[in-house]
Amino acid sequence: MEKVFATIITIGDELLIGQVIDTNSAFIAQELNKAGILVRHRLAVGDNWEDIWEALDTESRHASLIIITGGLGPTADDITKPLLCEYFGGKMIVDQPTLDHVTHIFEQILKRPMIERNAKQAEVPDVCTVLKNEKGTAPGMLFQKEGRIYVSLPGVPHEMKWLMTNQVIPRLPQYFQTGFVEHRTLLTAGVGESFLAEMIREIEEALPAHIKLAYLPNYGMVRLRLSAFGWDKQKLSEEIEAQFAIFKNAVKEYLVTDQDIPMEQVVAQLLLARGKTLATAESCTGGYIAHLLTSHPGASAYYQGSVVSYANEIKQRVLSVSADTLATDGAVSEATVQQMAGAVLKIMQTDYAIAVSGVMGPDGGTKEKPVGMVWIAVASRETTKTQLFSFRFDRRRNIELTATNALNLLRIFILQNH
Amino acid sequence: MEKVFATIITIGDELLIGQVIDTNSAFIAQELNKAGILVRHRLAVGDNWEDIWEALDTESRHASLIIITGGLGPTADDITKPLLCEYFGGKMIVDQPTLDHVTHIFEQILKRPMIERNAKQAEVPDVCTVLKNEKGTAPGMLFQKEGRIYVSLPGVPHEMKWLMTNQVIPRLPQYFQTGFVEHRTLLTAGVGESFLAEMIREIEEALPAHIKLAYLPNYGMVRLRLSAFGWDKQKLSEEIEAQFAIFKNAVKEYLVTDQDIPMEQVVAQLLLARGKTLATAESCTGGYIAHLLTSHPGASAYYQGSVVSYANEIKQRVLSVSADTLATDGAVSEATVQQMAGAVLKIMQTDYAIAVSGVMGPDGGTKEKPVGMVWIAVASRETTKTQLFSFRFDRRRNIELTATNALNLLRIFILQNH
């Protein structure tokens, strides 16, 4: 048996001028991995006949499965479908089931007249297997050529995802005999990448050849990932689990979680397990902590809500921060976040609260309170703990760091049985 | 003169297993575009000697500038630097200025002992120009080979950004005589992609060859982008402006903005111009609208804050939604968002308010109130307007759509002089 390699080709000038960020490729890569297929290349090319053609030629030499996304919309900048038709030596025909489906969408769901441009979406090369797209008008297409499989999917993320999950992945076993890929990821906090590397050097060097370790540093937190490939699923799982246990033990002092989940989910699991609730009072993060917590289903079981007190008068009027404190210590101060945390705990009647206030930049910094300075408070009904942070990145990154560190502070606070 | 093409190569297994989303490439592409350089390919390859080597060979045939990111950290999974050394036929030497810089960072900033692994970051191939990295320990490197320029940058986003802006872009005129790339983007709402395409078909067909139109649909909103390339900056600007004016006029009925900015900035500009303020009351979006508004500097001039009332009791206690309404109409109802908007307007003492309540999924839907059902209210002190929406995507997408549509509703509300 041989490893099966795939290439993901994304089509669109918007990727080459940096107007949009490619999130599709990450999803496709994850799904292929779960199916035991290794992604060799991810390639973005423009809406350009020669470049797409050449990419197909080149990547055919690197991979036996080529997934293409983008370039299938109803508008004129799309050249992918005619190109695929020519590349695979077919001619365009109307696919009646697709035409019925498109007609149904316009008549029954969108309730808009269907124009010729929409009907054209039902035209496909006669050499492809049509993959019905239940989430949109552009169908997926599967081609076979010289022992390789090519799949073309629309670039709209939820349509692409539905097609990958329901039409592409289930078909792969027809074409490929795949092995198994397994990953294990843990998250550490409070230790630098180099130090961590020294700590685990010996166990890293003792890893068997089919298990690889990777470091994914992220400003004060480092994710460690073990990846393994093999043909015997049971054996592979056992091997990677055994290795993972060794790594977990070696870094236990700094271990946040042994799951591949973000910090807010670590906190959510802690709160859930203890039946506790949380509220937040956010100034500089402007609702970002609330957004992180509520972006996962089921948040209502432990999260009550937030007062985003972006303006100082809201800190005073809604969160009862005293005028004295704001005048003397200022909005970015230990006293302010203490009062914010205390107030939101009462308002929301929760077990725990987080409060943050800081200078995110690029403007608003002073000599005493420079950009990146942040006070964070975490509180229970009995006690409040504060910490001063100093970040040195851009606004967006400072907001993210403040949120993650606030959540980490609460995590430690809860674990210390406050 | 010839067009200058670039390729961006990102190195890292995490990109191929879908563990992280590549945001670096978008930034690099934007900066190269501004410098008149066209990105031909974006390629992601694994931490793997053969694949990186082959990518360098292949992309050298497609581009005269190759930007490589990733693979320069202090840990053992990094093979990029020795590979580059061999590829360009050099030998590794210690770069004294880099060693001084790394030493300074550890002694003065991190205040941690420097270990051998860190010192190794000062080793570079003797055939490169070292690009000093003021934001971190891994230097950038510039190589020349057979008329092509290769630049290797660390993958940590803020380090890569600083190096691109301060070390790479300013050096490009030494090596390339570039043309000019210009883009103009407008945003429409309330019209489908196909319909829009029909509306502007004739003017699209009349575009000169060096100006391209692209459609970037995004669920109910469509961005149109004109891109032009030329050698005479003044002439190019005039041509694209003239074409852009024609397109703007053709879609004026649906035009949201003629700038390449997101919806929250369109609303921010409206509020700023009128000296008005805004507060939000968010249930299902969980602070995401607040986050969008506060992710841009200067938000405090028009944004006061948010009450994120994720739990029903917070709607009742903090936002004074009546127990009757919650019992009879439920949390996802017109009456609830009306009361939420009215309350937050009073609490925050603003000119305008947005309130949202809905079912984001994947759980919590019922026959009467299915996943994707959202009530949105926008209010001034005089009047409140409500609208019922129905989205049909996943949780994250439903949250984003609710936020964007709420902001669009407020935009229209303000323009109607409420």
Give the residue among A178, A176, A177, A183 at the shortest CA–CA distance from A236. A183
Q: How confident is the prediction for chain A on average, in pLDDT?
A: 93
Tokens of A48: 């350009």
Q: DSSP characters for B259-294? A: SS--HHHHHHHHHHHHT--EEEEESTTTTHHHHHHH
Q: Give the span between the Cα atoms of A28 and B122, in whole angstroms.
A: 37
Question: Do B11 and B24 meet the contact criterion of CB atoms below 8 Å apart?
Answer: no
Which residue reads 């042994």 in tokens? A258
* B305 interaction partners in chain A (CB closer than 8 Å): 307-311, 314, 318
* Contact at CB, A18 and B29, closer than 8 angstroms: yes
Q: Which residue has the tokens 């649909």?
A: B217
Report DSSP letters for B185-239, one per residue. Answer: EEEEESS-HHHHHHHTHHHHHTS-TTEEEEEEEETTEEEEEEEEEES-HHHHHHH
Cβ-defined contact of A16 to B28 (cutoff 8 Å): no
CB contacts, 8 Å: A57 with chain B:
none
pLDDT of B392 reads: 82
Distance from CA of B414 to the nearest CA of A (A): 22
Phi, psi of B385 (to 5 degrees): -120, 135
Task: Kindly list the residues from chain B whose CB atom is less than 8 angstroms away from the CB atom of residue A396.
Answer: 295
Span A89-100, pLDDT tens digits: 999 999 999 999
Among left, alpha and beta (phi > 0; psi -120 to 50; other), residue A283 is alpha
8 Å CB contact of B197 and A74: yes
The model's pTM? 0.88
Per-residue pLDDT of chain B (418 residues), as tens digits, is 789 999 999 998 888 988 888 889 999 999 999 899 999 999 999 988 999 999 999 999 999 999 999 888 776 557 899 999 999 999 999 999 999 999 998 888 778 888 888 888 899 999 999 999 998 889 999 999 999 999 999 998 889 999 999 999 999 999 999 999 999 999 999 888 888 999 999 999 999 999 989 888 776 689 999 999 999 999 999 999 999 999 999 999 999 999 999 999 999 999 999 999 999 999 999 999 999 999 999 999 999 999 999 999 999 999 999 999 999 999 999 999 999 999 999 999 999 999 999 999 999 999 999 999 999 999 999 999 999 999 988 899 899 999 999 999 999 999 998 7
Compute the distance between CA of residue B86 and CA of residue B84 in angstroms, rounded to an integer. 5
Q: Give the model confidence (pLDDT) of A125-162 as tens digits.
A: 999 999 999 988 899 999 999 999 999 999 988 899 99
B12 forms beta bridges with none
CA distance A173 to chain B (A): 20
- Is-contact A89 A125, C-beta < 8 A? no
pLDDT over 70 for what percent of chain A?
99
Q: Which of A379, A339, A333 is nearest to A359 (CA)?
A: A333
Q: Is the pLDDT of residue A208 over 80?
A: yes
Residue type, A79: I
Distance of CA A395 to the CA centre of its chain: 20
Angstrom distance (rounded) from CA B287 to CA B291: 6
DSSP letters for B53-104: HHHHHHHHTT-SEEEEES--SSSTT--HHHHHHHHTT--EEE-HHHHHHHHH
pLDDT of residue A193: 85
Of B20, B77, B213, the CB nearest to A77: B213
Residue in chain A closest to B205 (alpha carbons) equals: A76
A-chain residues near B42 (CB < 8 A):
15-16, 22, 43-44
pLDDT(A76) > 60? no
Of residues A259 and A109, the one with the higher pLDDT is A259
Given the cut 0.85, state whether the ipTM is greater than it: yes
pLDDT score, position B114: 85
CA separation for the pair A345, B314 (Å, rounded):
12
The span from the first CA to the last CA of chain A, in angstroms, equals 55
Those residues with Cβ within 8 angstroms of residue A170's Cβ, 6 or more apart along the chain or in another chain? none
Q: Are strands A180-189 and B211-218 parallel, antiparallel or unpaired?
A: unpaired
Cβ-Cβ contacts under 8 Å for B233 (sequence gap 6 or more): B180
3-class DSSP assignment, residue B376: strand
Chain B positions in Cβ-Cβ contact with residue A212 (cut-off 8 Å): 13, 77
**Strands B278-282 vs B303-309: parallel, antiparallel or unpaired:** parallel
Report pLDDT for A250: 97
Residue B415 one-letter amino acid: L
Residue A367, C-beta contacts closer than 8 angstroms, at least 6 positions apart: none
Tell me the two tokens of residue B223.
């961005």
Cβ atoms of B276 and B268 within 8 Å: the answer is no
Judge whether residue A117 has pLDDT over 90. Answer: no
Contact A291 B293 (CB under 8 A): no
Q: Is A346:A355 a contact under the CB 8 Å cutoff?
A: no
- Which residue ranges form the domains of chain B, and what is each CATH number? 5-175 (3.40.980.10), 180-257 (3.30.70.2860), 263-415 (3.90.950.20)
User: Are A19 and B216 an interchain contact pair (Cβ–Cβ within 8 Å)?
Assistant: yes
Q: What is the pLDDT of residue A195?
A: 87
Better pLDDT: A215 or B371: B371
B176: DSSP letter? -
Total residue count of chain B as it appears in this document: 418
At A313, list the tokens: 């008068």
Nearest CA of chain A to the CA of B291: how many Å?
5
| Closest chain B C-alpha to A231 CA, distance in angstroms | 18
Q: How far apart are CA A325 and CA A308, in angstroms?
A: 19
Which among B328, B350, B344 has a CA at the least distance from the CA of B377?
B344
Mutation site, A24, A195, A308, A363, interface B, largest B CB count within 10 A:
A308
CB spacing of B51 vs A40 below 8 angstroms: yes
Nearest C-alpha of chain B: how many angstroms from A133? 14
Nearest CB partner across the interface for A287, out of B22, B47, B294: B294
| A289 chain-B contacts, CB cut-off 8 A | 287
B214·A26 Cβ contact <8 A: no
Asked if A194's CB is within 8 angstroms of B117's CB, the reply is yes
Write down the pLDDT at residue A347. Answer: 96
Q: What is the rounded CA–CA span in Å between residue A405 and residue A402?
A: 5
Q: Do A300 and B311 touch (CB under 8 A)?
A: yes
CB contact under 8 A, A363 and B297: yes
Q: How close A258 comes to chain B (CA, Å)?
A: 15
The Cα of B397 is separated from the nearest Cα of chain A by a number of Å equal to 9
By the 8 A CB rule, do A388 and A373 touch? Answer: yes
Spatial distance between the Cα atoms of A301 and A241, rounded to a whole number of angstroms: 31
- Rounded to a whole number, what is the distance in Å from the CA of A178 to chain B's nearest CA? 16
**CA–CA separation, A384 and A380 (whole Å):** 6
- Give the residue from B48, B196, B204, B308 with the most A CB atoms within 10 Å of its CB, the best one to mutate: B308
pLDDT band at A417 (very low <50, low <70, confident <90, very high): confident
Check B348 against A198: CB less than 8 A apart.
no
> CA nearest B191 in A: which residue?
A112
CB contact under 8 A, B158 and A217: no
Q: Which residues are CB-neighbours of B126 under 8 A, at least 6 positions away?
A: B90, B91, B92, B93
Which of A294, A340, A350, A357 should be substituted to probe chain B, the one whose Cβ sees the most B Cβ atoms within 10 Å?
A294
Cβ(A326)–Cβ(A335) under 8 Å?
no
**Dist. CA B45–CA A59, nearest whole Å:** 12
| Residue of B181, B194, B219, B300 to mutate, testing the A interface (most A Cβ within 10 Å of its Cβ) | B194
- With CB atoms and an 8 Å threshold, state whether B197 touches A75: yes
Q: CA–CA separation, B414 vs B407, rounded Å?
A: 11
CA distance A329 to A335: 7
Do B318 and A347 lie within an 8 Å CB cutoff? yes
- What is the model's pLDDT at position A314? 95
A-chain residue closest to B212, CA distance: A77
B110, B134, B294: which to substitute to probe chain A, counting the most A Cβ within 10 Å?
A: B294
B118 to chain A: nearest residue by CA?
A194
**Which residues have CB under 8 Å from B250's CB, separation 6+?**
B199, B200, B203
* Amino acid in the structure at residue A134: E
Q: A259 by DSSP, 3-state: which?
A: coil
Task: Tell me chain B's radius of gyration from C-alpha atoms.
Answer: 26
Contacts of A303 in chain B (CB under 8 A): 310-311
How far apart, in whole angstroms, are the C-alpha atoms of residue B416 and residue B361?
33
The distance of A91 to chain B (nearest Cα, Å) reads 24
Q: Among the residues of A251-286, which ranges form H helices?
A: 263-274
> Cα separation of B393 and B358, whole Å?
13
| Residue pLDDT, tens place only, A272-286 | 999 999 999 999 999
**Contact check, Cβ <8 Å, B288/A291:** yes
Measured distance CA(B280)–CA(B345) in Å, rounded? 8
pLDDT at A340 over 80: yes
The span from the CA of B372 to the CA of B370, in Å, is 6
Q: What would the two tokens of residue B11 be?
A: 């190195």
Instruction: Sort out which chain B residues have CB atoms less than 8 A from A308's CB and list them.
Output: 280, 287, 290, 294, 305-308
Chain A / chain B CB contacts < 8 angstroms? 328
Side chain identity, residue A240: I
Classify A200 in phi/psi space as left (phi over 0), alpha (psi -120 to 50) or beta.
alpha
Mutate to test the interface with B, among A19, A106, A165 (most CBs of B within 10 A): A19
Q: What is the DSSP string of A184-226?
A: EEEEEESS-HHHHHHHTHHHHHTS-TTEEEEEEEETTEEEEEE
CB A6 within 8 A of CB A40: yes
Q: How far is B404 from chain A (nearest CA, A)?
A: 15
Asked if pLDDT for residue A21 goes beyond 90, the answer is no
Find which of A4, A7, A16, A226 to mutate to test the B interface (most B CBs within 10 Å of its CB).
A16
Question: What does the pLDDT read at residue A77?
Answer: 57
Chain A nearest-CA distance from B384, in A, is 22
Residue B170 CB contacts under 8 Å (≥ 6 apart), including other chains: none
Tens digits of residue pLDDT in A216-256: 877 668 999 999 999 999 999 999 999 999 999 999 999 99
Q: What are phi and psi of B6, to 5 degrees?
A: -125, 155
Sheet containing B384-390: give its strands across.
Answer: A384-390, A373-380, A352-358, A278-282, A303-309, B303-309, B278-282, B352-358, B373-380, B384-390
B313·A195 Cβ contact <8 A: no
Which candidate from A198, A225, A300 shows the least CB-CB separation from B310?
A: A300
For A180-204, the pLDDT digits (tens) are: 999 999 999 988 888 899 999 999 9
pLDDT in tens, A344-398: 999 999 999 999 999 999 999 999 999 999 999 999 999 999 999 999 888 998 9
